[in-house]
Structure 1
Amino acid sequence: MDTPTPNAPEELLPETETTESFADLLRENDLARASAVDRSGGNKQIDATVVAVTADAVYLDIGYKTEGVLPLTAFAATEKAVEPGDKVRVTVKGGIEDGYYQLTRQRVATPKDYSSLEEAFAAKGTVLGTVTGVVKGGLTVDIGMRAFLPASRTGTRDTAELEKLVGQEIRVRITSLDLDDTGAGKNDAVVDRRSVLEEEAKAAGDLRFAELAEGQIVSGTVRSLTDFGAFVDLGGADALLHISDIAWNRIANPADVLSVGDQLEVKILKIDSANPEKRRIAVGLKQLQPHPWETVSERFQLGQKVSGTVTRDADFGAFVELAPGIEGLIHISEMAWGKKVRKPSDIVKVGDTVEAIILGIDLDAKRISLGLKQALGDPWAEMVKTVGVGSVVEGTISSMTKFGAFLEVAEGIQCMIHISEITAEKRLNHPSDVLRVGEKVKAQVLEIDKERRQMRLSIKQLIPTGHDEFIAEHKVGDLVTGRIIDIDAAANTARVELGEGILAPCALPATAAPAAEAAPAAGPVDFSALGSLFANKWKTDVSAKPAKAKAPTKPAASSDAPYPGQIRSFKLVELEAEGKKIRLELA
């Protein structure tokens, strides 16, 4: 027996004079359907024979003039592949469409009248229907009559999902019903599935919302992600997982740790019972993990040197993550020793890895205070170990005021040079008369105040003076010539001038007590020879006395007793360069 060939669609038939018009086909379709209904006794099931199988359809001989067609999707993937000659039980569910009867493998109970559809339409209720095919703009649904379901009201998002609905039974609401009372069979209906799905979802959500309680641990699926968190489906009720409740450590973006579709165990933190219609639920993920601060006392101690990453900064300091969920604050005052920090970003940037010293731990407030400058070492403490009074330091002029200049001798250490200690050559109106900001200079340490962390410096002390030259050119034991300026009888000492501005004390022996009253009261003294000695920088001995010098009259009491104005030889018994000290005794 030859396998019958299915009727091809009209556009595939060769053009002949006997080709029927589209109107004739419609008329035949109506007559055939009426005949089929009459013979089936209400759309009874028919044992049809497969006549052909294509890539997407199965054509069957149902005993009518025109074959019927089933989509290939009507056959489950687990079934044996259908082949020509196989018997398949079907029901005619629609008239001729594209040249074939529309079939279904399910029994379709078509009402003998449409009163139930009219009642459902009037009550805006729902009815069951079977999706019969995909057409332009939507789907065709058999609800007892052929109805159109627009794609926008299917509740699906793309064409692929539409095709999956073919052959499925769905619940729909009739939004338009136009019945032909004339009996011509020109009935029309439009249905809506999306509103039914939304109502069912809301009902399921309300039921699920009523089952939830704060503190519960529930399962959920990440439905969507935002900058501020993730929305989690708890099985019909949506909840917000805020970014701050995802993990104990700081997260820049939820997408860094979560993805749509992730299955999570979360804890219900808050349910907005005051507005149940809004169904607001807040959940947390980190709350199911141990709190990092529970082990802080074991992991961190005062004075400990730690390393961390700068996570954010504020006007008052920078926050450093020491461990996931544990941050410490470096206050702006703890960032540098002597340098005034105007804003934290001048010293550290977000993302920097820094080392700091723990200055304080407050477990109750969950705060850790950190010091950045302490980790770098105290430059002041290091300096005073090697620098003392009289030492020479070098640095850069960092700033100036009307009363002096500040010299930065090390990072964070600025010392004061008073205006009176800048130069001895002239009186200054302002330090800028001789100094410039950024200029490198050397200075001598005059004083160190360790408690106040201050150091007083002098530049002029490094400029050579007559004292410096005299001390540099002589040694202890040398004989020099000088003039006695005055005598302190009580202390038995004399003040001797060795050169211009060079004065030195001289201890007098007890046997050389002067008779001050015997000293001449008047009379000029010729110091021209002494001036000559000054010019020669006092490189003389006792025998090198000037021939023309006219010494003052000696006291009558003793020819050897010293007296003011006397020029004589002295022996150097002490020379100290740093303190510029000179001490004499009579030669």
Structure 2
Amino acid sequence: MNSQAGRNSTGQEYSLSSEASSFAEILSEFEESHKQESGSRRGTVVAVSDETIFVDVGLKTEGVLPAADFRDRDGRLAVAVGDIVVVTVTGRNSEGYYTLTKLKVEKPKDWSGLQAAFAEGKPIAGVVTGVVKGGLSVDVGVRAFMPASRSGVHETAELEALVGQDIQCKIIKLDVESEDVVVDRRAVLEEEERRARRKRFEQLEPGAVVRGVVRSLTDFGAFLDLGGVDGLLHVTDMSWGRVNKPSDLLKEGDEIEVKILKVDPAAERISLGLKQMTPDPWTLVEEKYKIGDRIKGTVARLADFGAFVELEPGVEGLIRTADLSWSRKVRKPADVVQPGDRVEVVVTSVSASAKRIGLSLKQALGDPWEDLVARMPVGSIVEGPVVSLADFGAFVELTEGIEGMIHIGDISRDKRLKHPREALSVGQRVRAMVLELDRARRRVRLGMKQLEPTSLDEYIAEHKTGDKVSGRLIEVSGNQARVELGEGVVAVCRAKAAAQAQRAAERADLASLTAMLLMRWKGGGEAGPSGEPMRAGQIRSFRITTLDPASKRIEVELAD
């Protein structure tokens, strides 16, 4: 077995090994150089803290005892400065203080006492007298050997520091004839630790607030030293807000106050909470956040169905994808927001019991449909890029969040299309006329062919008010008639002109009607004589009274 080498106080070499030889065989290698009074001591309490009791035991430095040894079941300290206590020195700690215990042990005075302690497994008192090969020499009334592996220390320097110290140990081997005694200090220390842990567990109750020191950090939480026992502070109990990893909040050595959530003495487990030291912020959300409120927050994370926004530590709201933008082209939250973005949103729902707050980004931006009728009335000309094509038509982006649809039948006047891609492509900018606007259904219908010149446009462009033209009456209704001036060109003959023609007809000489010349125009028809009442099918002379290119309207009056 591996061993560590060193020298004792007399300069002799020794090695630390768990393979202990018989004390009788190694006694010749050791010369006793340290003797010190052993057994129980009376000491005076000189200082008291929450964790430690300092006692003057008449040595060069004070000794220390765990405060837990003096607490009653209610956790109150039952000791004060000036009190006299009976203790036993068990060693030294890393700070140089003597470690003490209240356990009363006695050093056997003869072999019969050693035999009784060995049989009953009771601890006995001893004094470490020196370092020998494989361990330590201990005076327990007779010379005993303690293997280094049973000393309760791990380093050579710690082993040497035990020389001269009073210790408690158990006899693990006793041979009276060969005067061979082997003792074990580690078993006593472990038993004391178990006893202290049990006592500490009895003192801890769920709901109590305790102070602890962060001993180590893991991915799932932090282990805290609560004074002899460890408790787990899980990452989910560190903060009401989201914590990615414990090291974001804590570091080893931090001293913090936590609340005990659960104690399991059987499994020796203690669950701790840091966020429970403050009220749950969700208990106040229904008072702080009302439906319709405009509030600001930070995008915490994205999901397939929306974006979570932190409104305050521990309180997050959800913007669903459909509430991110008025535009239908948003397919995923990342198209609109990214983690860390500061956004203004509108509260759409609040449920403290379910810990849910619904938010809307698009409502905070304003509904683009609110003033669309004023900005894009029917008949107005708009322009925008083609964003998508379908079998039945093309969609054009008019503004952020609003698209208009051009039906395939309204794309071209001259060509019959089987699919919109025969005339249009995605990304192409087009001009179109607003044909219909339905705010309730959020639909805009557009037309491109309506911007192409018609025979009516050309007729208006080629004529002016006052021109005398021929036309065929195609419909007479009361005091108004419709007159065809050409293919696809229809004018209106208003009531006044029609009434005057009717009165003139009543005064006309019937004989003159036979003198009318017959004429035909585009399919022919009987030419009516001047002053004859208007009838459908007649070809008459008219004078243009109104030309309105914008409304594509022509008005005429009888000229014969």
Tell whether the structures are fold-level matches, with TM greater than 0.5. Answer: yes
C-alpha distance in 2 between matches for 1:119 and 1:553: 149
Change in CA separation of 1:523 and 1:44 when aligned onto 2, cut-off 3 Å: closer
Gap change, CA 1:204 and 1:583, over 3 Å in 2: same
Please state how far the C-alpha of 1:75 moved relative to its aligned partner: 8.6
Check conservation: 2:225, 2:231, Cα contact below 8 A.
yes
Matching of residue 502 in structure 1 with residue 489 in structure 2:
yes
Alignment partner of 2:537 out of 534, 545, 564: 564
Amino acid at match of 2:398: V
Unaligned runs of 5+ in 2: 1-8, 14-25, 38-57, 63-105
Q: Using the TM superposition, give the Cα deviation of residue 166 of structure 1 relative to its aligned residue in structure 2, in angstroms.
A: 4.0
* CA 158–258 in structure 1, closer or farther in 2 if over 3 Å, else same: farther
| TM-superposition CA deviations, 1:458-492 (whole Å, max 9, x none) | 111112222233334555x3414232142415444
Aligned partner of 2:205 in structure 1 is 213
Of residues 559-568 and 262-271 in structure 1, the stretch that sits farther from structure 2 once superposed is: 559-568
The one-letter amino acid of 1:189's match is: V
1:452 corresponds to which letter in structure 2? R
Q: Does 1:243 align with 2:235?
A: yes
Question: Which residue of 1 is the match for residue 391 of structure 2?
Answer: 402
Could you tell me how far 1:418 is from its partner in structure 2?
1.0
Q: How big is the shift at 1:449?
A: 0.9
Q: Say whether residues 1:229 and 2:218 are aligned partners.
A: no
Partner residue of 1:130?
127
Give the unaligned 5+ runs of structure 1.
1-6, 12-25, 37-42, 46-73, 79-108, 529-550
Aligned AA for 1:575? D
Mapped partners of 2:436, 2:268: distance in 1: 74
Aligned to 2:421: 432
1:525 is matched with 520
Q: Is the 8 A contact 1:574 1:584 kept in 2?
A: no
> How has the CA–CA distance of structure 1 residues 174 and 348 changed in structure 2, closer, same or farther, with 3 Å as cutoff?
farther
Match 1:181 to one of 172, 177, 181: 177
Change (3 A) 1:489 1:324: closer
Equivalent residue number for residue 65 of structure 2: none
Do 2:107 and 2:124's aligned partners in 1 also have CA atoms closer than 8 Å?
A: no
Give the drift of 1:229: 1.9
Distance 1:10 1:381, change over 3 A: closer
Give the AA of the match of 1:270.
Answer: K
- Ranked by relative contact order (alpha carbons within 8 Å, sequence separation 6 or more), the top structure is 2
Q: 1:344 to 1:553 in 2, by over 3 A?
A: closer
Give the alignment partner of residue 278 of structure 1, picking from 252, 267, 272: 267
Q: Is the 8 A contact 1:134 1:163 kept in 2?
A: yes
Match of 1:17 in 2: none
1:191 aligns with 2:169: no
Q: Does 1:461 align with 2:450?
A: yes
- Give the aligned residue type for 1:181: E
Does the 8 A contact of 1:332 with 1:343 survive in 2? yes
* Counterpart selection for 1:171 from 152, 160, 168: 168
**Are the structure 2 counterparts of residues 329 and 490 from structure 1 closer, same or farther at C-alpha, using a change threshold of 3 Å?**
same
Q: 1:149–1:192: 8 Å Cα contact kept in structure 2?
A: no
Q: 2:305 aligns with which of 296, 302, 316?
A: 316
- 1:561 Cα deviation from its structure 2 partner: 6.4
Q: Is 1:260 aligned to 2:255, yes or no? A: no
* Aligned AA (1:417): I
Q: CA RMSD in A?
A: 4.1
Structure 2 counterparts to residues 370-385 of structure 1, below 5 A:
370-385=359-374
TM, length-normalised to structure 1:
0.68
- Structure 1: how far apart are the matches of 2:346 and 2:543? 63
Residues 222 and 133 of structure 1: is their aligned pair in 2 closer, same or farther, counting only changes over 3 Å?
farther
Asked if residue 344 in structure 1 is aligned to residue 333 in structure 2, the reply is: yes
1:279: Cα distance to partner?
3.0
**Whole-angstrom distance in 2 between the partners of 1:446 and 1:8:** 111
User: Which amino acid letter does the alignment assign opposite residue 350 of structure 2?
Assistant: I
What number of residue pairs does the alignment pair up?
467
Q: Paired residue for 1:481? A: 469
Partner of 2:47: none
Amino acid at match of 2:345: A
Corresponding position: 1:203 with 2:176:
no
TM-score by length of 2: 0.71
Distance 1:519 1:140 in 2: 158
1 CA distance for matches of 2:36 and 2:549?
132
CA distance 1:396–1:159, shift in 2 (3 Å): farther
